[in-house]
Every structure is written in C-alpha cells, then in structure tokens.
C-alpha cells in the first residue's frame, strides 16, 4: 500500500526532475517524498535512500525547534519561506570541492496536496561561487583601498619633499646670486644680468656702459692689515658703490677678487665717466687708511669705462674687454683714476 502511494507521488513530482536546480519535497510529517535528479547528482545521495525518511536526516538544522517552527506556516497556511545563504549558509551539508560546505539559498514553496494539506517544496540554489566572488571582490577592494591610501601617503610625502626642494632652490638661487662677503650681487648674477641688458640695448639700439673698478694695491693692504681688514675693505668699497649707483636700472656686482663691475643701461659715455669720477672721489673721501698705497693715503680704485651701442657684429665680451683694457691703462698711468676706452659701433675688436 505504501509503495503504491509512493509510486503515485513519484509520478506527481516527476516534473521536478526536469528542474535545473536541486529540489526536494516533504510532507506535513516531514518525510521526504521526492528528491530530484539534480539534487541526487549534487549531493551524491541517491533518491532511493531518501524517500520516506525524515528530512532532518539530510538537513540536520531541522532537528532544531526554531527551524521546525518556521516551516509550520507552510503546512498550516501555505506560506512560502526564504532561507537566505547569508543567515543560514546551508540547508543540506554538501562538501564543495575546496573542503567547504556549499553555500545555499533555499526557498520553500507550499504545494497544495490532498485534503487541504500542503507539501513543502524545497528548491536549493548553490550560491557558493557567487558568495566566493563577493568575498574575493571585497578582498580585492580592501586591497585596492589600502593601496590608494598608501599611494596618497607617498604622494603627500613627495609633494612635501618637492615643496621643500622648491623652497631650498629659491633660497639657493638668492644665495647664489649674492656675494657672500660683500652682500652685493655676485659674478654669476652679473653674467645673467649683463647678457640681458646687452640684448635689450641691442634691440633698442641704446648705449650701454660698463665700469670696471679695481682696488689699488689691495694685495699690500691685505698683507699688512690682515685678511679680516681686507674683507672689511671690500665691504666698504661695495657700500660706497651702493651709495653712488642709484638708478633702479643700474646694476653692480663683485666681479672677482678686489674687482667690481657696474652696468649702466641707456647711458652714454659722458654719464658713465661722470659716475666713475664721482665714485672714485667718493671712495677716496671715505678715508680708509692705506699706508702702503703709493697712489694715496687712503684706499682708492682704478676705473676703466667703456660704452657702446651694441650691434649684430659685436659680442658682449668685447665691451668687457675694452673696459678691462681701460682699467689696465688706468693702473699703468698711476692708479686712482678713470680711463675711457669706448667701443665704436661696427668695430668688432
């Protein structure tokens, strides 16, 4: 008799074998009445051994009163039930390939049976891969987030280093454009400025003048008064030049050793000579004692002045050379004087 009833049920539930999803059916006494082909393959538990057995044998969590209570609604009121993979992990413990239990999402659907009873159809979806993917995705994202944070920290550090370097470079530039001893511009800065002024004078076809000056008998001053006094002497000369060269476009620098240079843009020979002469007098009038000078009782300087209107045939070096030659002549002629040697336009050397 029982076999006949089972046969009938088997016929009734035959369609479930066509489902692409694992499924089983229990009656209101919790006995298994169907175990579909997909579930047979998946669980490796043959249908023949399950039919007629209590389903809690295969779904052990239903030995728990709490779960039994939840499926009561199926049989009494025909209410469907969801057992999410998130809250239940699995209904039927089936080992996955990685020695882990398959993660399952289960839906229980009431199927009307005879005499207003219900069968409970459990469809069990394997969501192991999906849940692994989510977990993997999460790990990937956490790692990416950590990397982003790390990168940001490195970038911040780098930005800070760059800022420090920029500040240092700025400072270095100022430092490197100033002569450490006298505090006026140095040779490097002169070279830069002179080239710029030369090109401007050439462009605007304006005269440009150079004054080159050299302290007379500086070696003797150094030797006799000492290096510290020598340094102070250089500072005093620089200070004197600062006091005389007033126009904002004019530029002066320590040219090297005890030599100084003044650039006078837009200045004709006459104006340059006038400035050189007042500067010569101004320096002597400072009355810095120089007992070892045969030119004066005080520290003096010799001046070479040269003026030109630059043209294409000229090299900026030419004007410096001419000023230097004038300076040489001033030394030769007895020092503490101003000699002019202009560079005529169109004459290269």
Which residues are designated catalytic?
Answer: 258
Q: Which is nearer to other proteins, 44 or 66 (CB)?
A: 66
Q: Is 230 in the site for other proteins (CB under 8 A)?
A: no
Applying CB under 8 A, which of residues 46, 80, 183, 226 lies at the interface with other proteins? Answer: 80
Q: Is 86 in the site for other proteins (CB under 8 A)?
A: yes
Q: Which is nearer to other proteins, 112 or 180 (CB)?
A: 112
CA distances from 195 to 155, 168, 264, 296 (A): 40, 26, 13, 36
Q: Is 1 in the site for other proteins (CB under 8 A)?
A: no
Q: How far apart are CA 39 and CA 162, in angstroms?
A: 65
Q: How far is the CB of 158 from other proteins (least distance, A)?
A: 29
Q: Is 186 in the site for other proteins (CB under 8 A)?
A: no
Q: Is 109 in the site for other proteins (CB under 8 A)?
A: yes
Q: How far is the CB of 46 from other proteins (least distance, A)?
A: 29
Sorted by sequence, the CB contacts under 8 Å of residue 223 that are 6+ apart come out as 292
Q: Is 63 in the site for other proteins (CB under 8 A)?
A: no
Q: How far apart are CA 17 and CA 3, in angstroms?
A: 20
Q: Is 44 in the site for other proteins (CB under 8 A)?
A: no
CA distances from 88 to 75, 93, 103, 105, 300 (A): 21, 11, 9, 8, 102
Q: How far apart are CA 134 and CA 142, in angstroms?
A: 12
Applying CB under 8 A, which of residues 36, 43, 85, 193 lies at the interface with other proteins? Answer: 85
23 near 16, Cβ under 8 Å? yes
Element (H, E) at 305: strand 301-308
Q: How far apart are CA 213 and CA 203, in angstroms?
A: 27
Q: Is 83 in the site for other proteins (CB under 8 A)?
A: yes
Residue 9 burial by CB count (10 A; 0-12/13-18/19+): exposed, middle or buried?
A: middle
SS3 category, 94: coil
Q: How far is the CB of 67 from other proteins (least distance, A)?
A: 9
Q: Which is nearer to other proteins, 79 or 309 (CB)?
A: 79
Closest CA to 306 of 178, 165, 198: 198
CA distances from 140 to 92, 131, 135, 144, 154 (A): 30, 14, 9, 6, 21
| Residue span binding other proteins (CB under 8 A) among the ranges 6-14, 39-47, 64-72, 201-209 | 64-72
SS3 category, 349: coil
Q: Which is nearer to other proteins, 141 or 247 (CB)?
A: 141
| Residue span binding other proteins (CB under 8 A) among the ranges 71-79, 164-172, 210-218, 256-264 | 71-79
Applying CB under 8 A, which of residues 87, 99, 114, 246 lies at the interface with other proteins? Answer: 87
Q: How far apart are CA 277 and CA 330, in angstroms?
A: 12
Applying CB under 8 A, which of residues 3, 44, 48, 66 lies at the interface with other proteins? Answer: 66
Applying CB under 8 A, which of residues 45, 61, 79, 220 lies at the interface with other proteins? Answer: 79
Q: How far apart are CA 271 and CA 302, in angstroms?
A: 17
Q: Is 61 in the site for other proteins (CB under 8 A)?
A: no
Q: Is 115 in the site for other proteins (CB under 8 A)?
A: no
The number of residues that bind other proteins (CB under 8 A) is: 27
Q: Is 116 in the site for other proteins (CB under 8 A)?
A: yes
Applying CB under 8 A, which of residues 9, 21, 51, 107 lies at the interface with other proteins? Answer: 107
Applying CB under 8 A, which of residues 14, 137, 148, 292 lies at the interface with other proteins? Answer: 137
SS3 category, 126: strand
Which residues contact other proteins (rule: CB under 8 A)? 66, 69-70, 73, 76-88, 105, 107, 109-110, 116, 134-135, 137-138, 141
């Amino acid at each position: 008799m029982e076999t006949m009833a089972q046969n009938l049920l088997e016929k009734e539930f035959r369609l479930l074998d066509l489902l692409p999803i694992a499924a089983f059916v229990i009656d209101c006494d919790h006995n298994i009445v169907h175990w579909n082909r997909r579930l047979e393959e998946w669980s490796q538990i043959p249908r023949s051994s399950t039919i007629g057995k209590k389903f809690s044998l295969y779904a052990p969590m239903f030995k728990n009163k709490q779960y039994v209570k939840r499926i009561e609604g199926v049989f009494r009121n025909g209410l469907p039930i969801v057992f999410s993979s998130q809250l239940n992990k699995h209904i039927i413990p089936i080992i996955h390939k990685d020695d882990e239990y398959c993660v399952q999402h289960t839906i229980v659907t009431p199927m009307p049976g005879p005499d207003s009873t219900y069968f409970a159809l459990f469809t069990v979806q394997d969501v192991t891969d999906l849940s692994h993917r989510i977990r993997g995705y999460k790990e990937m994202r956490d790692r990416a987030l950590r990397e982003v944070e790390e990168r940001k920290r490195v970038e911040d550090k780098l930005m800070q280093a760059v800022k420090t370097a920029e500040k240092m470079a700025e400072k270095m530039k100022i430092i490197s454009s100033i002569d450490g001893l006298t505090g006026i511009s140095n040779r490097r800065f002169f070279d830069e400025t002179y080239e710029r002024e030369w090109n401007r004078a050439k462009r605007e076809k304006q005269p440009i003048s150079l004054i080159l000056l050299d302290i007379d008998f500086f070696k003797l001053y150094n030797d006799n008064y000492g290096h510290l006094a020598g340094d102070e002497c250089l500072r005093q000369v620089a200070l004197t030049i600062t006091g005389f060269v007033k126009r904002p476009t004019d530029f002066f620098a320590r040219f090297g050793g005890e030599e100084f240079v003044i650039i006078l843009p837009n200045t004709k020979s006459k104006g340059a000579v006038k400035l050189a002469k007042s500067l010569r007098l101004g320096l002597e009038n400072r009355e810095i004692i120089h007992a070892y000078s045969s030119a004066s009782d005080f520290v003096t300087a010799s001046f070479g002045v040269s003026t030109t209107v630059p043209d294409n045939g000229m090299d900026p070096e030419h004007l410096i050379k001419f000023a230097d030659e004038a300076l040489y002549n001033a030394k030769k002629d007895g020092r503490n004087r101003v000699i002019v040697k202009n560079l005529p336009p169109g004459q290269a050397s």
